[in-house]
Amino acid sequence: MFMTVKFIRLLILICLAAAASGAYAQTSRYVTDDLTIPLRSGKSTEYRIVAYLPSGAKLDLLESDSDSGYSRVRTDKGTEGWVLTRYLADSPSARDQLDDAKKKLVNSQIDNNRLNDELGKLKGEKNDLSKQVQTLTDDNRRLNQQLASIRQTASSALALDNENKTLKSKAVDLERQVQSYEQENALLKDRRNRDWFIAGALVLGGGVLLGLIIPKLRVRRKSNWDTL
């Protein structure tokens, strides 16, 4: 395990050195880690080779023989055989780990790009929401102003309505007073007509009475004159 970690670190350093010095990389060469080990039918090189296993192949450990230095394993295809125990490790090979690290890095970059895109979309949505909030705030302010104007108008309307009711009440009182004055005027007119009628009757009666009295007075005066 320690050798594997050390090998990974060494491989990473080699990759960084190769990237930093491109001119020398054109002439430099490295030992490949693409290895194959034989899978034999027995615990020594005298047994036939059943298959060749590539570096990083996943195996099921069935048993180990410390005396021969071989372990019996089974491949993912079900093939069983013996390999040198020193070729087996508890973790994947450095190349596979590096490939996994590269894949994870690529996936991380993809996720990072996706997150950046989502962040950009969220920022755009935030700006849109901010504009909507500002619009709603302006609408709310305008509606509050309209509401205040309506309330003021309603208050004025109520005042006018109360004033109108007061004027109507006064008009009713004036109408009643007019009707009372008209009734009094009618009574006075009737009384004046009656007074004129009585006066006319008195004048007529006095004239008639004088018409009756004056001739008698003349007759008496004449009689008196004749007696003298």
| pLDDT higher than threshold 80 for residue 215 | no
Q: What's the pLDDT at 64? A: 92
Burial label for 149, CB within 10 Å (0-12, 13-18, 19+), is exposed
- Mean pLDDT computed over every residue of the chain: 78
The model's pTM: 0.35
Q: Is the sign of the CA dihedral 152, 158, 159, 161 positive or negative?
A: positive
Alpha helical stretches, state H, the chain? 2-20, 22-25, 94-227
Cα–Cα distance between 50 and 137 in angstroms, integer? 80
Q: Where are the domains of the chain?
A: 1-32, 34-92, 115-170
* Homologous superfamily assigned to 34-92: SH3 Domains (2.30.30.40)
pLDDT in tens, 99-149: 677 788 788 778 888 888 888 888 888 888 888 888 888 888 888 888 888
Question: Is the Cβ–Cβ distance between 61 and 82 less than 8 Å?
Answer: no
What is the H or E stretch that residue 36 is in?
strand 36-40
Cα–Cα distance between 183 and 189 in angstroms, integer? 10
Please give the DSSP secondary-structure letter assigned to residue 31. -
3-state secondary structure of 202: helix
- Residue matched to tokens 């935030």: 126
pLDDT in tens, 174-194: 888 888 778 887 787 777 777
Region 199-216 average pLDDT: 73
pLDDT in tens, 15-25: 655 555 544 44
Q: What's the pLDDT at 24? A: 43
Output the CA torsion 102→107→109→110 (10° steps): 150
Output the CA torsion 130→133→134→139 (10° steps): 160
Question: Is the Cβ–Cβ distance between 55 and 33 less than 8 Å?
Answer: yes
- Looking at this protein, which amino acid is placed at residue 136? L
Region 71-98 average pLDDT: 84
Provide the angle, in degrees to the nearest 10, between the axes of the packed helices 94-227 and 2-20: 70
Instruction: Look at 21 and 67; give whichever has higher pLDDT.
Output: 67
